[in-house]
Chains A and B, each alone.
Chain A
């Protein structure tokens, strides 16, 4: 990994960094209560916009809609802001209230019609978007603790969440109502984040237990004879990556080209590749291909650019950095 840019601007820890869908912009957010938008001008990445004043506490994470026109930000102040940037300027068009306390994560469904948020109040909320109106269509109270992350399936309306209760949960819509269809047990401590692979048949999750787990989806009637209760797909852990990380793993992202990157409390980012010699997808194995002491403090987030060529990381040291993967 070669560091190609350092994004300096936040006055406090940076919690999250996300690429716009066309890879030309980055949004970052953090403990200074602001969201910053960065663009590449010539060879340099510069901060072109600072969105502050809308959140009164830490901004924990951000998410772009699939068409890149909307950005959502969530905060410890219990609110979600939706920003419209289709005119070129960022305008806050909606503030979603309802969570009782800190909102931790946010994600847009692939179609852009649905938004999911999650909170320390143990619930996952699904909001339906109609122009600039957002209506809560479901409150999912299934986790028994703080929900740390939500991510949508890349092309189906399936939502996955990760929690302080050590589990992941899968939510699907069933005859007009959202419900938890599967609970993924295995991690021994808080699950901080998760990522789907590009076709959505696998999830990788990362935890305070210092491991990464790979989960495979099994459809009803699968050839392996894996039971699927209630005729709904089930997810099984098919691989555990341990011994690589020295502290809690705060984030994980699967690139469009198949590489897994992790952000760790030991200041490192690591990249893993699947070993090609596995005979079936049911017993995969992964090797660490590189690790980098990326920051001076905990790394909170990693995210691959849409083309899989670059990685952005951000840290308690107040910086975001862009890395080029050299193979």
Chain B
């Protein structure tokens, strides 16, 4: 009989956990949306059709698509009628004004469907949410990776051996814990020109202390194990023992914290973008979309609601997945 490895056992445990599988499904869905955004989204996220401003979910209307020049972005305009000749296309817009474009500029005549309605610039909210998934995921993974790298390295050094350096590291971690995270983030992002890079770097550099403490705790525990003593007896160097023997045995809790960290980072990005400190217009960040809709909350609530739900699903997905992983990777939970 073949013995099962820890990952196999964990996977089996996960599969029987409905909540965890739900989380995995939500995360997979958002990832697919992000990965195939250009295929899924019916429009470019920045395309404005002012005539279809603030229209509710389910609206559809007649449009013409054209480009002023091949290298320039596609234009979409709401029309009531289109007349084609060999050289020109003449169309009448909703204000009743006729405009003529060259045949070469014309792309297609279309009936667009707005699944989730439009925002105050007549941009398709569904397309923006699909593209916005990319931003949330990029920020979530990058920020959580940065915080993991910092946290794991500092935590391992802090836990492996009692020294001045390790004490210094842990006191520094305490200091970092003392700052209110969001305030600290606002401070950092406000100091630079707002951009997505600044946002995920800032989130990464602010959120590592949790990972660091966790890692230290794990290292403190694992370094007393027999196999570590064995490795020491064999004369291995500390470096090797730490990274090759101790670290792999701490992987499970790191993975859980990493997954939960993604959820936290996505929330932090949304908060910063809501405050105008994150991605700049017309980037379709979910937080910024909520902010854009706040003035229209009484007249067009779907503008804020849709990205709000998108954030909720994504964050919930990562949280459920993280919780599921914790249960699955915890040997004490086996069989329960």
A and B part of one assembly: no
